[in-house]
Chain A
Amino acid sequence: MYWGPTMTLDKNMRILIVDDYATMLRILRNLLKQLGFENVHDASDGKEALRRFETCRYDLVISDWNMEPMTGFELLKAVRANPETAGTKFIMITAESATENVIAAKRAGVDNYIIKPFTTEVLRGKLEAVFHQQVA
């Protein structure tokens, strides 16, 4: 079954969080839950995230950059290269704060970029910016 990407900030939208630190996945899941998003799935690196895309479609991917064996940047390019997943919203949450990284991610089609450490308010602001809607 194919679920097309949701273009609105639906609380039931399917979110895939990708990070190699289990603690970070847990923090993100809890912050998203506090913002009202419960349909949250996770993967520990880009490869695992792509495997999840084989069986499920996501409305939003929130991914770290620095992961093994596949980085968040490589995941972003793979998601954008596949016509079936190209429309998925993609937010990078990373400690990689070099200008060249942000530019490379933007060129590859990232919807927004958050530098770690971040606050719930920053996350909320980025979700609203990406979906052009307010988080209720």
Chain B
Amino acid sequence: MGRRFEFVYILDFIPKLLGYLQITLFIVAASVVLGLVVGLIVALPRMYNIPVLKRLSVIYVSFFRGTPILIQLFLIYYGLPELLKGISIDVSKVPVLAFVIFTYALHSGAFISEAIRAAVGAVDRGQVEAAYAIGMSGFEAFTRIVLPQAVAISLPVFANVVIANLKDTSLAFTLGAMEMTGKSQTLGLTTQHFIEVYISLSLIYFVVSVILERLFQLAERRMLRYQPELASTPSRKRQLPRLLLPQFKKGGEQA
């Protein structure tokens, strides 16, 4: 396959691919922000035990956690327009990117809703009672006492969702979305240097993942500063091996 391996192509491809990094990051950011909204909405019926909606949210979560993201992409990209045609809405002009973001938002929303549910459950009931006892309303108690702690607790899971999402966006090229992986396909085809382009591509994903991982670690340390065992900054010696060997997990699975 292709031409003889030439190292110089790796360096040559990196800047070309980097031009498309912003699209990849845009997909990640947009879908995670939407996913947060979706996740919160979906988590609420289960936290407050609302009969029918609770069922629906369970079905939604198990579907998006239990099917491959690639199939979800196909279902939404090819299936949704057909469905909408039935109620005479034409989405043929909607860009591919919108479908991609929509799918990833629903996908990460499922994981995020589980993370939110677990984290809210982890804030002990006693603190809520204390908030009520000093005269706070349910809303004040939730936003001022429960939510900040829940966000801090769910941050590691959230980080996993974001990083998993980053890597999953590479599948968007199957729909013809021109993000980094999509670009690597065309670069590979035109130059016939496939191995080099994939090496460049994986380098970029790797570095971006590590940077995200580090940022989340910093945020976590800051948000959990009220927990001494996490707040105390470990020495540089201990940090370094972790930087070199980041641990990637599929989002939300340990929640």
Whether both chains belong to one complex is answered with no
Residue ranges of A at the interface with B (Cβ–Cβ < 8 Å): none
